[in-house]
Copies of this chain bind each other. A is one copy, B any other.
Amino acid sequence: MTILRLGHRPSRDVRVSTHLLLAARALGARRAIYTGVRDPGLEESVRKVCADWGGEFTVEHASSWRRVVREWQGKVVHLTMYGLPICDCLEQIRGDPSEKLLVVVGGSKVPGEVYGLADWNIAVTGQPHSEVSALAVFLHELYEGRELLLASPGARLKVVPMAHGKRIKH
């Protein structure tokens, strides 16, 4: 599972893109590609989280989203409020688990071409909200909650779950 984040703008999007990539990582994706302006600060902050909290997750920049989508060896899902309801598409998407999935997530302006190139355009509600929440619900539905129990091999830090308080194991 790879996430493709479109049209990153370091000045405006750095926090939302960071949240998006960390959500992708925490909820079971293994790899992210982003287009738009290359942002070493964004990459570094994600790498730092991976170094501390473990698991395998990589982030890389690509200059052409079109090339990434066209050359993808597998299926392409585009998350958009204009798409079909997520519940109507999940069974089909899960249908062939051997297919590698590319999940395209918009930035500011999504080129119209994306809608045509995607195998599925999927809406997490037809309401405007956030690519971060849309991706979270999509991954949670796709993995049926199993992603919440993922281990993160190689972690230097680990939370000890508590009813009240904060504890980290080093």
Interface size class of A (residues with CB under 8 A): 35 or more
Choose the segment among A8-16, A32-40, A67-75 that binds chain B (4+ C-beta atoms closer than 8 Å). Answer: A8-16
Tell whether, in the assembled complex, residue B85 and residue A161 are in contact, meaning their CB atoms are under 8 Å apart.
yes
Known interface pairs A27-B133, A53-B127, A126-B158; A19-B16 also in contact (CB < 8 Å): yes
Q: Say if the beta carbon of A49 comes within 8 Å of chain B.
A: yes
Binding site for B on A (CB under 8 A): 12-13, 15-16, 19-20, 22-23, 25-27, 49, 53, 80-87, 112, 115-116, 118, 120-121, 123-137, 140-141, 145, 147-150, 152, 158-159, 161-168
Chain B's closest residue to A80 (CB) is B166
For A133, the chain B residues whose CB sits under 8 A away are: 19, 23, 26-27, 132-133, 135-136
